[in-house]
Amino acid sequence: MLLKRAEKYGFCAGVRIADREVKKFAAAGGRGAILGQLVHNERVVSEMEELGVRTVESLDEVEGGTIVFSAHGVPPSFLHTARRRGLRVLDTTCPFVYDVHDDAERARQLGLHLVFIGDPEHREIQGYTRDLEPGTYHVLSALSEAEKVDWSQYPQGVRILYQTTLNAEEYEDVARAIESRAEATRTDTICYATKENQDAALRLAEDPEIDAILVIGGRHSANTRHLWETCSRLKPSYLVHGVEDIEGEWLEGVSGLGITAGASTPDYLVEEVEERVRTLASRAEGLTDGDRAGREDSRRVDTGENQSALSR
């Protein structure tokens, strides 16, 4: 089986720096807590806990020591709260995220209404909006949402900003709907590494040698999900979080398999997945025709039994 990785995949610069800084902190004997997942990958979270840096969901869970702010960033008030409580702060916020904070603040001071295109539940978006007055911004993720807003109530103008992990092209209709109804300007806030990963995933999916694609990433990783959505439009694509998720039947009839990974996926996970795929492919090649026929019969029997059980 041909295995081909995307030209760009895996850790972006911001995530790599965050990972390195926390490991350096732990190696120096530091102990503390990370507010939310350092990056959206369960293996990385487990690795950090083994190093003595646990993950917490609230500042209230930290009574002393060091608090780590993840690559996704936090509301500015969190920094003041942490310092007021006597906590040391290790800030690993991605520079691109800080750029969005800065641009949003400049636009707000100019009296512009802020529109963040992204997932309102995503920690990055919550970091931008938590400290803002409710009437000063919108968070939109669909055209229908943009069409419901009376944009005439913002004659001073609108500034559009994107969650850094999005594919801006997929939300072009949302931005254009706003621009057609309001005096609006955009800020290019898409992380270049995210865009490079997305473009490389698309090229991989378009490759005629590739029959199917594995996309590796964390369960809560937005950019990984976007990679999978991009690939699945063109080829059978499977989102996996690790080797335990890979199904051997996905590889049947596949002569070329593409592999890509989200910006929060460490290199060692990609290596593990590749090794697992090679093992499964080798086993499949070793099957005789009789073995294959027997396995197919067994699968049909199992399916029938499962269906009967469900009907009961």
Q: Where are the domains of the chain?
A: 2-9+192-287, 13-93, 96-186
pLDDT bucket at 298, cuts 50 / 70 / 90: very low
Equal fold, 2-9+192-287 vs 96-186: yes
Q: Which residue has the tokens 């939310």?
A: 36
Is pTM beyond 0.85 here?
no
The pLDDT of residue 286 is 66
Which is catalytic among the residues 61, 63, 124, 169? 124
**Contact indicator for 227, 197 with CB cutoff of 8 Å:** yes
Structural fold of domain 13-93 = Rossmann fold (3.40.50)
Could you tell me which residue, 280 or 285, shows the higher pLDDT? 280
Lowest mean pLDDT among 38-42, 235-239, 251-255: 38-42
Find all residues with CB under 8 Å of 1, minimum gap 6, and list them: 251, 254, 255, 256, 257, 277, 278, 281
The predicted-structure confidence for 162-198, as pLDDT tens digits, reads as follows: 998 887 778 999 999 999 999 999 987 777 888 899 9
The pLDDT of residue 284 is 72
CA–CA distance, 226 with 232 (Å, rounded to integer): 10
CATH architecture of the domain covering 2-9+192-287 = 3-Layer(aba) Sandwich (3.40)
Q: How far is CA 91 from the centre of its chain?
A: 20
The predicted-structure confidence for 225-246, as pLDDT tens digits, reads as follows: 989 999 999 999 999 999 999 9
**Active site includes 124?**
yes
The predicted-structure confidence for 81-113, as pLDDT tens digits, reads as follows: 999 999 999 999 998 899 999 999 999 999 999
The predicted-structure confidence for 112-166, as pLDDT tens digits, reads as follows: 999 999 999 999 999 999 999 999 999 999 999 999 999 999 999 999 999 988 8
Q: How far is CA 38 from the centre of its chain?
A: 12
With a cut of 80, say whether residue 288 has pLDDT above it: no
Strand partners, 237: 213
Q: What is the mean pLDDT of residues 298-312?
A: 32
User: Nearest Cα to 221, choosing from 171, 265, 169?
Assistant: 265
Structural fold of domain 96-186 = Cobalt-precorrin-4 Transmethylase; domain 1 (3.40.1010)
CA–CA distance, 183 with 275 (Å, rounded to integer): 53
Find all residues with CB under 8 Å of 97, minimum gap 6, and list them: 14, 71, 72, 73, 124, 127, 164
Q: Which residues of 22-56 are buried (b: 16+ CB within 10 A; e: fewer)?
A: beebbeeebebbbbbbbbbbbbbbebbeeeebebe
